[in-house]
């Protein structure tokens, strides 16, 4: 599964990331991680204090990857609407759900301040990043002055996360796509009125 050139800690982290996404924290046993990574119990405990320590490394990496993927789209040039639209329409494995957002449904992750922190920080970062772009749009008169960037950014993040749930529930990406199209229509309706001079 892994190249012989991939280190044991790297294999353990990547295996844990994959299993957390598929099974959640509770369903990811140390034995399953070891088998997936092709690593022995001694190797795992040599590099990590235990499952929580390994899970934290995996969650932090997944959160960092999510931020980088979002920033690659949101950090582009162009109008605010186009950047938000590009983020909403970017390629996703919708039926697998969000690897970060899904962790909020795991009671053991939510009960642990340490495991929950990178999840909360990432979703807060995303909301703040989108709010900043929307604020630029208001300042550039792309959006109406009445648009509240923070509220709309929260709506965008909630729609994406909820869209994953709808898609997984229905077994089709169409539910996610419908939610995104509806959100974009609402955002387009917030355009600043044309100057009537």
What's 50's DSSP letter?
Answer: S
Percent of the chain past pLDDT 90, that is, above it, reads 79
State the first-to-last Cα distance of the chain, in angstroms, to the nearest integer. Answer: 66
Q: In whole angstroms, how far apart are CA 94 and each of 15, 22, 59, 159, 164?
A: 21, 13, 19, 13, 6
For 30-71, the pLDDT digits (tens) are 999 999 998 888 888 888 988 999 999 999 999 999 999 999
Q: Are the C-beta atoms of residues 67 and 122 closer than 8 Å to each other?
A: yes
Q: What is the pLDDT of residue 111?
A: 95
The SS3 assignment for 145 reads coil
The span from the CA of 119 to the CA of 117, in Å, is 5
Q: What is the pLDDT of residue 196?
A: 42
Domains of the chain, CATH where assigned: 8-188 (1.10.357.10)
Q: Are the C-beta atoms of residues 24 and 55 closer than 8 Å to each other?
A: no
What's 182's DSSP letter?
Answer: H
Lowest mean pLDDT among 6-10, 89-93, 99-103, 162-166: 6-10
The SS3 assignment for 189 reads coil
pLDDT higher than 70, residue 3: no
Q: Are the C-beta atoms of residues 131 and 149 closer than 8 Å to each other?
A: yes
For 126-159, the pLDDT digits (tens) are 999 999 999 999 999 999 999 999 999 999 999 9
Q: Are the C-beta atoms of residues 149 and 135 closer than 8 Å to each other?
A: yes
Its pTM stands at: 0.90
For tokens 């208001």, name the residue.
138
Q: Which of 182, 181, 179 is nearest to 170 (CA)?
A: 179
């Amino acid at each position: 599964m892994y190249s012989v050139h991939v280190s044991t800690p790297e294999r353990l982290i990547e295996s844990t990331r994959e299993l957390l996404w598929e099974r959640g924290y509770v369903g990811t046993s140390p034995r399953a991680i070891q088998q997936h990574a092709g690593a022995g119990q001694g190797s795992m405990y040599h590099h990590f204090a235990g499952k929580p320590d390994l899970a934290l490394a995996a969650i932090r990496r997944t959160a960092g990857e999510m931020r980088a993927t979002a920033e690659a789209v949101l950090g582009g040039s162009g109008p605010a609407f186009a950047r938000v639209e590009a983020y909403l329409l970017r390629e996703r494995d919708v039926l697998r759900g969000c690897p970060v957002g899904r962790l909020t449904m795991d009671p053991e992750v939510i009960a642990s301040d340490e495991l929950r922190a990178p999840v909360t920080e990432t979703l807060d970062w995303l909301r703040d990043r989108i709010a900043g772009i929307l604020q630029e749009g208001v300042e550039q008169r792309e959006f109406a002055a009445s648009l509240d960037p923070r509220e709309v950014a929260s709506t965008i993040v909630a729609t994406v996360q909820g869209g994953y749930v709808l898609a997984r529930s229905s077994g089709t990406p169409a539910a996610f796509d419908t939610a995104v199209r509806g959100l974009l229509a609402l955002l387009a309706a917030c355009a600043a009125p044309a100057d009537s001079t």
